[in-house]
Amino acid sequence: MSLNPTLPRFAVLQLSGCAGCEVSLINASEWVEKYQLVYMPLVVSTHAVPEDTEILLVSGGVRNDEDVWNLRHAAEIVDRVIAVGTCAISGGVANLGDRDDVRAMFMSQASRHHVPHLLPKSHPIDAFVDVDLYLPGCPPTPELFMGALTGPENFEASSIVCQECGRKKLKDMRPTHLVGFQQGEVLPDICLINQGYLCVGSSTRGGCRAICTRPGHPCVGCRGPSNAYIEKESSVWFDRVQKVFENMTDIPPEEIREALHSPQLSMFLFQFTDYQGGDRPPRPKEKVL
């Protein structure tokens, strides 16, 4: 908590998002002794990224023309750009608006004249600037933030959420249907798939320490696919989830397929490859923490 000039200087640029990533960063108080926070409008009264900033964390998606300007300008100044959270990586929850009917409503009802103008859709930040590291999560945990700041080589994690969860997989407990997304009692210590929940932790990248599945909520895949799938089309990931359910349950495959395409999963499941209509190259796994 000081202005020691020898500490590395970092800035946090908030684009259109929910500030959950920033709140998580504030929770990760260990950086306070090791880094110097020079710009983050949520907590610091400065109105521009200073010239000698080294690291730029960007949260939120690009939703309006001011986001574009702020992003381009800040990225030019710094040495290293880190895309933080699902919105910066893929547009996140705002990407659910990437539908013709919704876009028409935005343009006809939501736009305003006297304020930054909305773009027709939400964009990931690497549509505008080069990104050195992607930090997926909605939001990434404080521990992941520290990993991103200090360097991925110092961060140890399992490859998938399943390995961090610790719930037991049972051979003889095979549900025949998915239980309603929010319905039913959750048994402790037993795999959520055995209990009929649509949990995608079996191929979602680890590092979050399974904070959702341990208290009993199925993994929605907010960290994106594990390294095995990250450079492939999301259909490969979907097939993999499908296979896990075929092996562990007697739920009809169509039921799984339909559920996987529902909004609350798809806003996370598409975040690495089929973003931007699938016309961009995949992000290399070496650049993802």
Q: Is 88 exposed, middle or buried (0-12, 13-18, 19+ CB in 10 A)?
A: buried
Residues 2-21 binding other proteins (CB under 8 A) are: 2-3, 14, 16-21
Q: Which of 59, 57, 53 is nearest to 77 (CA)?
A: 53
User: Residue 104: helix, strand or coil by DSSP?
Assistant: helix
Is 267 among the residues that bind other proteins (CB under 8 A)?
yes
Compute the least distance from the CB of residue 59 to other proteins, in Å: 9
CA atoms of 25 and 251, how far apart (whole Å): 40
Distance between CA atoms of 145 and 207, rounded to whole angstroms?
11
What string marks each residue from 39 to 78 as x (binds other proteins by CB under 8 A) or -? -xxxxxxxx---------------xx-x------------
Q: Across the strands, what pairs with 134?
A: 83, 288
Q: Is 66 or 233 the residue whose CB approaches other proteins more closely?
A: 66
Give strand pairing partners of 64.
118
Q: Which stretch binds other proteins (CB under 8 A): 108-116, 153-161, 223-231, 233-241?
A: 108-116
Find the binding residues for other proteins in span 179-198 (CB under 8 A).
180-186, 188
The label of the residue with tokens 């659910």 reads: 96
Footprint (CB under 8 A) of other proteins, residues 199-238: 211-212, 215-217, 220
Cβ proximity to other proteins, 112 vs 171, nearer residue: 112
Is there binding between residue 262 and other proteins (CB under 8 A)? yes
- How many residues touch other proteins under the rule CB under 8 A: the total is 69
Is the sign of the CA dihedral 95, 100, 104, 105 positive or negative?
negative
Buried b (16+ CB within 10 A) or exposed e, 236-257: ebbebbeebbeebbebeeeebe
Rank residues 157 and 220 by Cβ distance to other proteins and give the closer one.
220
Least separation in angstroms between CB 279 and other proteins = 21
**Given the rule CB under 8 A, which of 73-81, 110-118, 151-159, 243-251 is the region that contacts other proteins?**
110-118
Work out whether 129 is an interface residue with other proteins (CB under 8 A).
Answer: no
For 37, the enclosing helix (H) or strand (E) is strand 36-39
How far is it, in rounded angstroms, from Cα 212 to Cα 61? Answer: 24
Sites of contact with other proteins (CB under 8 A): 1-3, 14, 16-24, 26-27, 29, 32, 37, 40-47, 63-64, 66, 92-94, 96-97, 99, 101-102, 105-106, 109-110, 112-116, 118, 122, 138-139, 141, 180-186, 188, 211-212, 215-217, 220, 262-264, 267
